[in-house]
Structure 1
């Protein structure tokens, strides 16, 4: 059973997330031969106040 985790900043619409899940699922099916019912996609949305690069938060 393939599990895919996508981490991205919040702000996408439900329609965008739905399309992303559909396309990722199709890519997994195409490349691994897994059944559609076995593909699990997790979307983890992050806020910029909880993310930093080079010691600086992205909201600062």
Structure 2
């Protein structure tokens, strides 16, 4: 859940985006926003879809 928490802090509090936010785009829509945090929570707690592979490394980036 720390990934989701980091995204929520970035979206609502602001500040400099970390390099981790690229991997935080778990739905691959080109943006790191609250929908990515919701996706992570659903994946972790409700068996939602796997995060996408934003850097083509062959594994989900979350």
Q: What is the TM-score of this pair, normalised by structure 1?
A: 0.28
Higher helix proportion, which one? Answer: 2
Higher strand proportion, which one? Answer: 1
The higher-RCO structure (CA 8 Å, 6+ apart) is 1
Name the larger-Rg structure: 1
